Amino acid sequence: MKKLGVIADDFTGATDIAGFLVAGNVATIQTNGVPSPDFSSQADAFVISLKSRSCPKDQAIEDSLAALRWLQARGCEQFYFKYCSTFDSTEKGNIGPVTDALMDALGTDMTVVCPALPVNGRTLYKGYLFVNDELLHESGMRNHPLTPMRESKIERVMESQSRGEAVSIYSDIIDEGSETLRHYLEAARREGYRYVVLDSLYQSHLKVIAAAVQDMPLVTGGSGLAFAMTSLEGESGKQNKQADSLGRPKKGRSVIFAGSCSQATNRQVNTYISTAASMKIDVARCVNDMNSYRQEVSRWLLTHLDEESAPLLYATKPPEELEQMKGRYPEGVAEEAIESLFGYLAPVLHDAGVKNFISAGGETSGKIVQSLGIRAFHIGPQIDPGVPWVKAVDQEVYLALKSGNFGTDDFFMKAQKEFL
């Protein structure tokens, strides 16, 4: 496998792909934003986590190109633009514009689009993206607060936000193997298509795709294809030693923050609150009485840090409550107040001896990482597919940064079973 440089459009997406790379025996370091030129740690793959999924388009492009230049300077030979397996990007979203900018910078006229992650129920068939047995636009993603997904045909989404034409290659072609797929990819290039959406129903499809795209300068997709790419040298499935030696968390003071309102996180919160101390965030006080409320929540968390299971602070709510919240406040006000609360609490708890932070939701995870001043991570063992433990490179802080949609219902308890 060539030295890989990954540009991820959010924090949890970055840990998702980094965890799969480590599981595929690729020594990997993840950074929070574009590192300084004098960054000295070495790895076979670098994953740069950006906040480009929901920021303004021009900022997303600028940050992604800066990441590309840094990765090129580190000697990376192939580049991977990583987005969520549910293609979190509306018709005005950033996946298309960032892809175009990276293609231009690399001088390539075609790339593939492959968000599938079959192990987590994200599959593509006839160019349509499914979440388990539901079309994307009929799944819980239709109510996502930042990127509501109202279209399941990925080539349509791609064309709506980028400047080229897209085409799909279906599973019956991929079933014929990598040589056949290469032939069809080259045919798509000759016909002027800029983006090729690839069906993927099984891990075996991803392995065929990985072999067919190994010479492409830019690949775009979810973490599933990246994991398949690690198998090209026959090393997939071996757990890299760094998972145990550098990334596994140690038993000690821990806390759980849940900001995601996804269906999966709702189930995880409902499962956990019956087993451990939990507090639901009072949004009205969070918005209107922030200073006093911060102190109250801090005191509550500090009183529960030495209990057997970590305390849970959550803003997670079902769709009907989420809609009610949106109706009460101007756009973004409540969400910003909640993330500000998480950002305030993380360093306060760290100063109180908390070493392990479990977080649900990309925005929440990003805020925690930012507030703790963490710039890079060693990647540890996976808790569930796409969710590893990670350790800050320069301090004794361990984090499980979970995408809202990932993880089993008992994820919060399962994560704590990884403690040494």
> CB within 8 A of 358, min separation 6: which ones?
254, 255, 256, 257, 310, 399, 400, 402, 412, 415, 416
Task: Judge contact between 255 and 301, C-beta under 8 A.
Answer: yes
**Cβ-count burial 356-393 (b if 16+ within 10 Å, e if not):** bbbbbbbbbbbbbbbbbebbbbbbbbbbbbbbbbbbbb
pTM for the structure as a whole? 0.83
pLDDT in tens, 329-356: 998 899 999 999 999 999 999 999 999 9
Question: Which parts of the chain register pLDDT below 70?
Answer: 145, 233-245, 420
Report CA-CA distances (Å) from 383 to 10, 96, 203, 238, 248. 19, 31, 19, 16, 10
* pLDDT the model gives residue 238: 46
In order, the DSSP letters of 357-416 are: EEEESHHHHHHHHHHTT--EEEEEEEEETTEEEEEETTSS-EEEEE-TT-S-TTHHHHHH
Helix spans in 177-222 (H): 178-190, 203-212
Tokens of 211: 């072999």
Helix (H, G, I), strand (E, B) or coil at 94: coil
Q: Which residue segments constitute the domains of the chain, with CATH numbers given?
A: 4-233 (3.40.50.10840), 242-416 (3.40.980.20)
* pLDDT the model gives residue 382: 87
* pLDDT the model gives residue 286: 96
- d(C-alpha 176, C-alpha 195), whole Å: 21
Strands 28-32 and 376-384: antiparallel
Torsions phi, psi for 214 (to 5 deg): -65, -20
- d(C-alpha 379, C-alpha 4), whole Å: 15
pLDDT in tens, 6-49: 999 988 889 999 999 988 888 899 999 999 988 988 889 999 99
